[in-house]
């Protein structure tokens, strides 16, 4: 069998809504590796948020922050930090509007508000991360920030989208959005890895379920949407497998002929 590279999203793809890793998913990943395939992660999460998962699955190639921080075989090969001036302007405006911001680099995250804000606690709790970001309103200064979280209700981000053209806003929770450099995506990060690995398009695969997977599923020829994916995500994929908690990864890998 020819060797392929397979990229997996985390939340709703590798992990269930309860953030558990199905046994069939782990078994499938291990089988792929035994067969000699390259297994990688492509996620909106920060690297420090899924270190244990990478260790459990033995994965050292990954795209973090929706393409802004890319690692190949344990080595950082590409970074794309946010524009510091735009980030400062956004932060100041968001603070005036009562919208908290969390700054994230490759090692940690800090909030620009000191109080225990409901939006921050509610959204980050869904990731099953039990340590909330500490307060440091100037964390973005003099360091690279790869992604920022903006906390606001749906549609309240529209004025920001209209004003900050060099930033992209991707909603992942009813009260939270990822803020990344304009044009950044998992697909861009994957392309950086492909420049090094050189797999042809017919041997590239990707599994995802969320809105931040759309570019990846559109660009990768053998794209698979999870059964629990949103309709517009399924429309972008070549295949649709079962839900993550119905052994969707194992089913999808068999569907495309990798297992």
pLDDT tens per residue across span 4-60: 999 999 999 999 999 999 999 999 999 999 999 999 999 999 999 999 999 999 999
CATH code of the domain in which 71 resides? 3.40.50.1000
Which pair of tokens denotes residue 204?
A: 């590239």
Shared-domain flag, residues 24 and 141? no
Candidate list 9, 11, 209, 247, residue with the active-site label: 9
Higher local confidence (pLDDT), 172 or 193: 193
Q: What is the pLDDT of residues 74-103, one digit of tens each?
A: 999 999 999 999 999 999 999 999 999 999
Q: Cα-flanking dihedrals φ and ψ of residue 159, to 5°?
A: -60, -35
**One domain, residues 230 and 155:** no
| 9: annotated active-site residue | yes
Q: Same domain for 63 and 190?
A: yes
Say which CATH number the domain at 100 has.
3.30.1240.10
What range defines the domain where residue 162 resides?
84-181
Total number of domains constituting the chain: 2
Strands (E), the chain: 5-8, 38-42, 62-64, 69-72, 75-79, 101-104, 109-111, 134-135, 147-150, 167-173, 176-181, 204-208, 222-225, 239-240
Residue 128: pLDDT over 90:
no
d(CA 2, CA 258): 10
Q: What is the Cα–Cα distance from 50 to 21, expressed in whole angstroms?
A: 12
């Amino acid at each position: 069998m020819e060797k392929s590279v397979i990229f997996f999203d985390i939340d709703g793809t590798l992990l269930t809504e309860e953030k558990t890793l199905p046994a069939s998913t782990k078994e499938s990943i291990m089988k792929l590796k035994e067969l000699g395939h390259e297994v990688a992660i492509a996620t909106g999460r920060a690297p420090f948020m899924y270190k244990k998962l990478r260790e459990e699955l033995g994965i050292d190639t990954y795209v973090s922050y929706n393409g802004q921080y890319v690692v190949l075989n344990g080595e950082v090969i590409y970074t794309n930090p946010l524009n510091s001036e735009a980030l400062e302007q956004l932060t100041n405006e968001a603070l005036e509007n009562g919208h908290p911001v969390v700054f994230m680099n490759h090692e940690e995250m800090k909030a620009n508000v000191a109080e225990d804000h409901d939006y921050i606690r509610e959204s980050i709790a869904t990731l099953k991360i039990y340590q909330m970001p500490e307060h440091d309103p100037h964390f973005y200064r003099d360091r690279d920030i790869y992604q920022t979280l903006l906390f606001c209700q749906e549609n309240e981000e529209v004025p920001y989208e209209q004003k900050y053209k060099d930033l992209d806003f991707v909603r992942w929770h009813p009260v939270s959005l990822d803020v990344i450099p304009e044009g950044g995506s998992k697909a861009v990060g994957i392309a950086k890895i492909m420049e090094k690995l050189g797999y042809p398009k017919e041997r590239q695969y990707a599994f995802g379920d969320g809105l931040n997977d759309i570019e990846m599923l559109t660009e990768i020829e053998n794209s698979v949407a999870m059964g629990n994916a949103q309709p517009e995500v399924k429309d972008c994929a070549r295949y649709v497998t079962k839900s993550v908690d119905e052994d969707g990864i194992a089913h999808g890998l068999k569907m495309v002929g990798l297992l």
